[in-house]
Structure 1
């Protein structure tokens, strides 16, 4: 799939905020005990035939890059895979030693997606979502019949 991928620029902030709000309820996301404004983070946009197809935001922490959000605006076309590949390439070029992310125990789709792309489960943070709810009370208690309780950390070497 020939995606056009480029970094988020000032003119893209409005669409970034819309995508994040649609996907996450707001641009504020919580992981590993930290609330982050994903709308102000660096990121990449993927376009397909002129239409926005996906968005990834990330945080650079020394030589480690964290995937904060990944959204396929047009699902099932490969935008998330293309964005992750482009981010991995950028991290490698910048000398990053680790690309990582956090998801929750209920998110079986994300677990399958990331593991199929080389990420390995490296940590289980028990009951971390309970602490996250103190920062973002809108995090639901249950998803698809699964109690949301734990954060799972996945990582790979770019």
Structure 2
């Protein structure tokens, strides 16, 4: 596959990013911390492999003193796209003077919890019932998540960044 390169999304990435968001989230909208986001409206980084093939995308926003990763998905696990995208998001955060990188995942997403914690993010809050509330804004959110774990709660993870202006 070759090395992963990360760059800002370009217009020619639209179809690949849209297909990834359909696969992961059922379309371009996600609901997190009681807010509905249109991923198409957020700055997006894309990962491409050594052959130039699309390998993943990360949508983000600068808010609350940090960079929030609103969506991170790879086309296939274990190839390094997620790791490269997260590192690139950290570089964007540092360049913007943000003091933390943060995100929300759900209680069922054990593979994401493992991935993020191995990269230094820590669980700093649990928002019980947040996914239940999110279904009011996006009724297509399933009731069972990965491994048939009931899907109810959001977990906030963050990593404090060093060497920033703050």
| 2:56 equivalent to 1:47 | no
Q: What is the correspondence of 1:4-43 to structure 2 with a 5 Å cutoff?
A: 4-43=5-44
* Ranges in structure 1 where 5+ consecutive residues have no aligned partner: none
Contact residue 20 and residue 39 of structure 1 kept, 8 A: no
- After superposition, the CA RMSD in angstroms is 1.2
Runs of 5+ unmatched residues, structure 2: 162-166
Q: Distance in 1 between matches of 2:54 and 2:76?
A: 8
Question: Could you tell me how far 1:62 is from its partner in structure 2?
Answer: 5.3
Partner of 1:96: helix, strand, or coil?
Answer: coil
Is the contact made by 2:101 and 2:159 (CA closer than 8 Å) also made in structure 1? Answer: yes
Query: What corresponds to 1:59 in structure 2?
Result: 61
Q: Is the 8 A contact 1:8 1:43 kept in 2?
A: yes
> How many Å separate the matches in 1 of 2:38 and 2:14?
12
Match of 1:145 in 2: 148
For the residues of structure 2 that align with 1:89 and 1:60, how far apart are their CA atoms?
13
Match of 2:103 in 1: 101
Tell me the TM-score normalised to structure 2 length.
Answer: 0.90
Are the equivalent residues in 1 in contact too, given 2:55–2:76 (CA < 8 A)? yes
Larger strand proportion of the pair: 1
Name the count of aligned residue pairs.
Answer: 158
Following superposition, the deviation at residue 80 of structure 1 comes to 0.2
Q: Which runs of 4+ in 1 moved over 3 A?
A: none
Q: Is the 8 A contact 2:65 2:98 kept in 1?
A: yes
Residue of structure 2 in register with 1:119 after alignment: 121
Aligned-partner Cα distance in 2 for 1:108–1:40: 28
